[in-house]
């Protein structure tokens, strides 16, 4: 084994070392009950209303689980014709807590217009121009939206049809227009 290879090997080990995951785990744990309640209240404004309170809560819990399950440094899907190894980037959500604290005012009064305005200000302040393709830690609301809007459920809500992408529904019925939501 050459020295050059040894160095590359050591660096690749560092890349997948669990430090980032431990830190991420600690950051998720550091969100206390108040922060989580704020996230829930913010989500009710940021997410579409047809989800209802229960649906919003399901999305929020799924989002937090997604963050907790993230592995920095994992091999990424190579993509077509890409011969180089890529790894998932670091995910640092240390900005979430101060963002949630700044968004808290108004959430306790159920003032959705005020919360909406605060979210917009917060996104402007953070310089968020577009939704990330995956949560990237820059802004808690952008990440929550990115998480939800990429889901099969969000697509069905948009199209108001039971497309059920990625749910393995079988071949039966695929030649028909997807059923309207709620009719199945």
The DSSP letter of residue 160 is: T
Of residues 111-150, those binding other proteins (CB under 8 A): 116, 119-120, 123-124, 128-131, 134, 141-142, 145, 149
Secondary structure class of 77 (helix, strand, coil)? coil
Residue 37 CB, nearest approach to other proteins (Å):
19
Of residues 70-99, those binding other proteins (CB under 8 A): 70-71, 74-78, 81-85, 88
Q: Which residue has the tokens 């040894």?
A: 6
Stretch that binds other proteins, among 14-22, 28-36, 69-77, 94-102 (CB under 8 A): 69-77
Instruction: With CA atoms as reference, report the closest residue to 67 among 17, 15, 27.
Output: 27
Instruction: With CA atoms as reference, report the closest residue to 178 among 167, 164, 158.
Output: 164
Asked whether position 181 contacts other proteins by CB under 8 A, the answer is no
Listing DSSP states for 9-50 in one string gives HHHHHHHH-THHHHHHHHHHHHS-HHHHHHHHHHHHHHS-GG
- The residue (of 32 and 92) whose beta carbon lies closer to other proteins is 92
Question: Residues in the site for other proteins, rule: CB under 8 A?
Answer: 1-2, 5, 8, 12, 45-50, 66, 69-71, 74-78, 81-85, 88, 116, 119-120, 123-124, 128-131, 134, 141-142, 145, 149, 152, 154-155, 157-161, 163, 165-171, 174-178
């Amino acid at each position: 084994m050459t020295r050059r290879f040894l160095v590359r090997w050591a660096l690749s080990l560092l890349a997948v070392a669990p430090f980032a995951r431990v830190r991420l785990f600690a950051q998720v744990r550091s969100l206390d009950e108040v922060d989580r309640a704020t996230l829930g209240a913010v989500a009710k404004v940021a997410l579409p209303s047809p989800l209802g309170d229960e649906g919003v809560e399901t999305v929020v819990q799924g989002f937090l689980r997604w963050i907790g399950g993230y592995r920095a440094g994992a091999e990424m899907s190579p993509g077509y014709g890409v011969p180089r190894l890529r790894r998932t980037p670091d995910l640092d959500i240390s900005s979430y807590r101060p963002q949630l604290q700044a968004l808290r005012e108004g959430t306790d009064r159920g003032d959705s217009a005020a919360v909406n305005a605060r979210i917009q200000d917060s996104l402007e302040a953070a310089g968020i121009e577009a939704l990330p393709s995956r949560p990237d830690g820059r802004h808690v609301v952008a990440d929550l939206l990115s998480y939800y809007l990429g889901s099969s459920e969000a697509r069905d809500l948009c199209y108001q049809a039971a497309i059920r992408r990625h749910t393995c529904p079988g071949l039966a019925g695929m030649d028909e227009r997807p059923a309207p939501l709620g009719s199945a």
